[in-house]
Amino acid sequence: MKVTWDIFCTVVDNYGDIGVTWRLARQLVAEHDLAVRLWVDDLNAFVPMCPGADAAAAQQWQEGVDVRAWPAAWQPVQPAEVVIGAFACQLPAQYIDAMRALATPPLWLNLDYLSAEDWVEGCHGLPSPQPNGLRKVFFFPGFTDKTGGLLREASLLARRDALQQSAQARTAFLQGLGVQVQDEAQLISLFAYENPHLGAWLDALATDTCATHLLVPRGRILDDLGKWLGEPGLKVGDLHQRGALTVQILPFVSQDDYDRLLWCCDFNAVRGEDSFVRAQWAGRPMLWHIYVQEENAHWEKLDAFLGHYRQGLSDDAAQALMALWRAWNMGNDMGQAWQGARKHWAELQQHAHDWAARQAARPDLAKALVQFYRNSL
């Protein structure tokens, strides 16, 4: 019999929560031969990243995962042997009661948000006894050996290398999205939250000496982009040129195609958690739009990651990289920061590839979760 796992996901206001849990669920099935139920409270957020999914289905099978609608009126089910509450979501009270009624309670894990802050290492794996007698364990993804690692499928980097090393495969994939890249143009992807400082970066790209083709999957940045272009109501397929900059609006693609898009680009601007991790695996220079928190608490999280990521860079390149990320997230001059980063382009390219290789030398998140369960028996 396969070991059973339940993963609970509450969709907040973006795609990060469902993006992470869907990747995890299908990897646990594909690589570890587990029986996984993924409970999602808003399947409308699931459909865009899993073509063919049905937002109205109470139960459906997608890539071997038993995807369930998480109903407001919970119906009793047998708890799994491993239960994951993603990102501190609250499990149904009836489900918790059912866990407690078992002779051998499940392993209950709280899969937390990704952070590079120092305190994460001390909290990873800590038990949290509950008033009802159950025990919940904190499990933190991360960038060091004392955390749970990052989501990474076994074949991911091999598939990345195959695409990046084949001009023909790269061209065919982009053409499938309707993208015709000019010769010598740098390719940049942009997936971000709303950002009033976008215009300064676009001005720099439009007046640059090299051509840029900016690929923008449909999302929350489109209003700001439309204001800069003077073209409100941007839609998929739109193509605009301003100076050296060509802007193209793409559809919201599946997770696998988004990976390929990142691999094809020379630079990736990403947001949140899921796309942030996938951009790192692309091995290309990147820019992270971190999710805004109250009292600018996200700035500490941003600097904590940069403290790790900058290791191995020359002082000048590290300062230029940090200036770019802070400008994007803190409202500084993006045009000046972009030009500063471009001076160190070759070093930043090599560093991005090396960073991905170093992270890949550690166990991935799915493998770490499975091993944690086995050690708990």
State the average pLDDT over residues 314-320. Answer: 98
State pLDDT tens for residues 272-285.
899 999 999 999 99
State pLDDT tens for residues 54-85.
999 999 999 999 999 999 999 999 999 999 99
Q: pLDDT band for 377, please (50, 70, 90 cuts).
A: confident
Q: Which residues are catalytic?
A: 17, 273
Which one of 113, 134, 151 terminates a domain? 151
Produce one character per residue of 216-234: b if its CB has 16 or more CB atoms within 10 Å, e if not. bbbbebbebbbebbeeeeb
Q: pLDDT band for 14, please (50, 70, 90 cuts).
A: low
More confident position, 310 or 130: 310
The total domain count for the chain is: 2
Query: Are 108 and 171 within one domain?
Result: no
State the average pLDDT over residues 151-166. Answer: 98
Query: Are 163 and 134 within one domain?
Result: no
State pLDDT tens for residues 204-225.
999 999 999 999 999 999 999 9
- On average, the pLDDT of the chain sits at 95
Say which residues have a Cβ less than 8 Å from residue 1's Cβ, sequence separation at least 6: none
pLDDT at 169: 97
Residue 282 within a domain: yes
Query: Are 105 and 248 within one domain?
Result: no
pLDDT at 202: 98
Query: Are 196 and 130 within one domain?
Result: no
**Rounded-to-integer distance, Cα 160 and Cα 156, Å:** 6
Q: pLDDT band for 8, please (50, 70, 90 cuts).
A: very high
Query: Are 195 and 317 within one domain?
Result: yes
Q: pLDDT band for 291, please (50, 70, 90 cuts).
A: confident
CATH number of the domain bearing residue 273: 3.40.50.2000
State the average pLDDT over residues 126-152. Answer: 94
Range of the domain at 194: 156-360
pLDDT at 132: 86
State the average pLDDT over residues 322-334. Answer: 93
State the average pLDDT over residues 239-245. Answer: 97
* 132 HSE (CA, 13 A, CB side): 13
- On the question of pLDDT at 52 being above 70, the answer is yes
Query: Are 234 and 319 within one domain?
Result: yes
Residues 146, 140 contacting (CB under 8 angstroms): no
Query: Are 186 and 327 within one domain?
Result: yes
Q: Which of 169, 171, 219, 225 is nearest to 197 (CA)?
A: 225
Query: Are 143 and 179 within one domain?
Result: no
